[in-house]
Chain A
């Protein structure tokens, strides 16, 4: 039996069906990400595990126990919110002690646990500070410490990094993952950012419109999208209808095909390699995206996106003729 199980979860807001029969199993100690655009139901599922939302029907099992009808306070689940939600009138220490005191733990154990948690999130010296005097990143680390100090059965992270600027975010992503590895705490992370999901997760569940579109490891989800939504949401795939891909490859395809832009090779001279599909096109335009150039190429009236690393030697001009090649294994049927 899995550690956490969602059994046929349905949730309605009025007539709005936000969770459509979700079945999901999570193993103990895993770092699981629920990924999807806003409004896809990922947060609602997380909040129903926390007990902050009631599900319309279905069952939630945690550690062998049905918790569907339990109050949030009785579930022993830790949660970190996007807006930190620290108690502004309490110091860092008091914030961490809050739940432990409600549990009526002895003072020595409270002190011991706080000390440990502070160390894990590297906030030594800030114990007596008030949340308003801390930076956003520091506040989020306090929120994280407040979650783990309770030694919960599972830690829920609801878009905890969305309000933090890009640079700091990268380092917090790593420290969250590190903390998970150190404590072996089952962690469920909700985000709409696919890069974040790739970096952090053991398993990704891709949500769309109240259902789970695809589940798998980051590599699986990235390289083998199973639906056109998955392909477009992760990795900016080129998506071709069957007739169009048949036209440019010269081979008959039965289904839609997704091709990642970085797997398309570009050259000024014809490519000599028999294993690959070959075609000619005209560069329509190019955009610089960080260290990558994205070209829009016209192949027999069909638009293809291709990525190339930003090296001056290989920059193509608009309206230049270009030879393309695509390996068959990079054409994913969806």
Chain B
């Protein structure tokens, strides 16, 4: 039939976009991460050695992993309770819940950080109430710390994880619960022996989405603490922009470390979804 390959021209814009703004930037960064600092060419592992040996950056890695894993786990637990509740009750409340989840999933980044500042910040409402009434916990709330950040991260993880888990509960059939009850099982045995094992792939893949989401998040932390918190995205950014001396080669190595963490998270997710045959 038509043996002219003119149709291939239609691929060009896509390829140009992906090559210029996806592949080359990533490859360039990866290559540059092996170049000695301040040099144009050369090969070294020094940038990586520095990341993993200097306390400042070790701390950033630990903090980033800690905050990503903890916020994902807490988010998942709340999401599990929420999605299970949606699964078990029908009606108007479910619709309201879904709408609110969709709504607050847009509430993140700078606005979210500021909302926490007016609640728990130095002159925040809760802080003032705490000091007025002698509630120590509120008066000295550690918002400007990793723990304060964790609170904010948990907030944006909850709507995302709940929205991801609710459809997974559709796989739980009513008949299984009935069979479990007929065979003498309790609600507890149902969830531990049947429900959670069936949901496990969804739970794990949701976890990896949450983990990646938290690991690369930047805006909330930056709005709350500027560069005064040791997190990988903050440390990465300050090597390229801002007041400090710029260290692009070292920064590239941080970027690669982050990308590797992200790829591990995505690969776990892909592997699980393939297994499920979706």
Contacts and interface: CB of A to CB of B under 8 A. Distances in A.
A51 interface: yes
Contacts of B2: 71
A71 B2 CA distance: 7
Interface in B1-47: 1-2
A69 interface: yes
A70 B3 CA distance: 11
B123 to A, nearest CB: 57
Interface residues of B, number: 2
B24 to A, nearest CB: 36
Contacts of B1: 51, 54, 69-71
A94 to B, nearest CB: 27
Interface residues of A, number: 5
Contacts of A70: 1
B10 to A, nearest CB: 18
Nearest to B3: A69
A313 B2 CA distance: 68
Contacts of A71: 1-2
Nearest to A70: B1
A54 to B, nearest CB: 6
B55 to A, nearest CB: 59
A63 B110 CA distance: 72
A71 B4 CA distance: 13
A152 B1 CA distance: 20
B204 to A, nearest CB: 37
Contacts of A54: 1
A69 to B, nearest CB: 6
Contacts of A51: 1
A69 B1 CA distance: 5
B3 to A, nearest CB: 9
A280 B105 CA distance: 80
A116 B48 CA distance: 77
Interface in A55-95: 69-71
Interface of A: 51, 54, 69-71
6 contacts: A51-B1, A54-B1, A69-B1, A70-B1, A71-B1, A71-B2
Closest 6 CB pairs of A and B: A54-B1, A71-B1, A69-B1, A71-B2, A51-B1, A70-B1
